[in-house]
Structure 1
Amino acid sequence: MISSCHINIKSITKHKDELQARFSKYDIISVNETNLKSERQFTLLGYNTYRNDRVGKPGGRVLLAVKQHIKCREVFNKTVGKNEAIAVEIETKTLKSRLISSVYIPPTAKLNLNLFHELYDINNNCIIMGDLNATLYNKGSQQANARGKQLQELLAEGFIDCIEDDNSTFEKNDYEVKLDWILASQPLLSFISNVETHPTIGAINGHKPLTFDIPTGAESKSLSPRI
């Protein structure tokens, strides 16, 4: 069983200590809006980190942190039509690896369907989590916005689907909405369990961290004979 966490954090360096204190038990951590600059080093204790940083512009950026004992490799690091993404493949005890991706879509951008096709074409056993700034009626929101309608179009294609969960993931004052999503191909989607939202990190962020479990059967790295 692998436990995963997705967070929109606005500034990962500002909230690093709280992130580690609350979520270091999770095997994979997806972070949107890290605000990391490409020249800045960043580490999380016990994790290998993979980043897609913006160049020359503030905001955005995505990161995946994978526990060091899990075998994985980066397979995708690209921004497609302002949709920022990073993806790794997790080796498993079976013949088929799993692709895990973190995606951030700014509120001024469109959801780029080609990005999701690219990720699926790399590995059709995939989980995509992120802040898509997409709202869907009766799935944590009162109405569908423009990106929500694009998300509906994506889901209608049938190669990927979302968790059937109507909990909001963003809360500010009296406004609640679902902006953060867990998408997956079958049969992985049916194996995802224990989906939960958590209190926000930082007082003004508004995004609730999402956590879930998936029985991927990930391979562990062999330890050095000296250990």
Structure 2
Amino acid sequence: LKPHNLFSLPGYKIFRNDRPDRQGGGVLLAIRNNIICHEKLNRTIENNEGIAVQIETPLGHLLIASIYIPPNVRIHHELLQQIYNLNNNCLILGDLNASLQSMGSRRTNVKGRQLQQVLDEGYLQCIDNDLTTYARNNYEEKIDWILASQPTILFIDNVETEAPLGLKEDHKPLTFNLNMAADNKPSSPRLSFNSKSANWQLYRKTLNELLSNIDRTKTITTVEEIESYATTLTECIS
């Protein structure tokens, strides 16, 4: 995408973050004309390119972002954090050039470890599947990602990849359903927990500190003492 290159798509509003001073494209979002929307972010931070548009849904405002991070560039947490801070109900799509084995890639690269750091912070989660999104010369890998905050991540299903479009990089288009109808709220708040995004090291440290305050030498003989002890343990765990 260059400023002098015009692009239009019938029936869609186009939002773009051009790349005027380097080779290649940039990022773009196309939003259907019948959807109320407006641009919220158009930034490039240390070659991390992003465009974000807020749309209206039956469940409120949703921020949709498209990002691109080149292979030799570090994932810049500030861009992701800025998107989330604009609207903590957000959906981020993009080619991060990050492979993370624990989330479905064949291996983990440096960018994958950087992505894991983002996930460990807990404000974003990713679709956990083993669909490869890049195919070239008998090599396939998952390097394109769907990231989302809660509860948006719960409304995503039927994630699939399609055949490459024949472009130079041979990325596979990702398709999915986003079911945000007003009557399609999660049936239980329990669905909002994702153990993979938890900071278990911090949890273990905090739990040990709380358990160390319990007098384990005390003899428990009555029902009331048992119930009190059980309540204390429950409070430590939760």
TM-score (norm 2): 0.73
Distance 2:97 2:141 in 1: 10
Match of 2:20 among 45, 50, 55: 55
Contact 1:60 1:106 (8 Å CA) reproduced: no
Structure 1 segment 128-167 matched on structure 2, within 5 A: 128-167=92-131
Structure 1 or 2: more helix by fraction? 2
Match of 2:179 among 215, 223, 226: 215
Q: Who is 1:76 aligned against?
A: 41
Distance 2:70 2:48 in 1: 7
Q: Which has the larger radius of gyration?
A: 2
Distance 2:135 2:125 in 1: 24
Structure 1 segment 40-189 matched on structure 2, within 5 A: 40-94=5-59, 96-189=60-153
How far off is 1:77 after superposition?
A: 0.2
TM-score (norm 1): 0.77
Q: Could you say what secondary structure the match of 1:73 adopts?
A: strand
Unaligned runs of 5+ in 1: 1-35, 219-227
Contact 1:49 1:63 (8 Å CA) reproduced: yes
CA pair 51-164 structure 1, distance change in 2 beyond 3 A: same
AA matched with 2:109: N
Percent of paired sites with the same residue: 49
RMSD of aligned alpha carbons? 1.4
Contact 2:164 2:173 (8 Å CA) reproduced: yes
CA pair 89-203 structure 1, distance change in 2 beyond 3 A: closer
Distance 1:187 1:90 in 2: 16
Q: Could you say what secondary structure the match of 1:97 adopts?
A: strand
Q: Who is 2:199 aligned against?
A: none
Q: Deviations over 1:73-130 (max 9, x none)?
A: 0000000111000000011234x30000000001111000111110000000000000
Distance 1:187 1:54 in 2: 33
Q: Deviations over 1:159-217 (max 9, x none)?
A: 11000111110111221111100000011101101100000001643210001111234
Contact 1:167 1:178 (8 Å CA) reproduced: yes
Q: What is the number of residues matched between the two proteins? A: 182
Greater RCO, CA 8 A, separation 6+: 1
Distance 2:22 2:137 in 1: 29
AA matched with 1:205: E
Distance 1:139 1:50 in 2: 30
Distance 1:216 1:81 in 2: 34
Q: Could you say what secondary structure the match of 1:41 adopts?
A: coil
Q: Could you say what secondary structure the match of 2:98 adopts?
A: coil
Q: Deviations over 1:22-41 (max 9, x none)?
A: xxxxxxxxxxxxxx211221
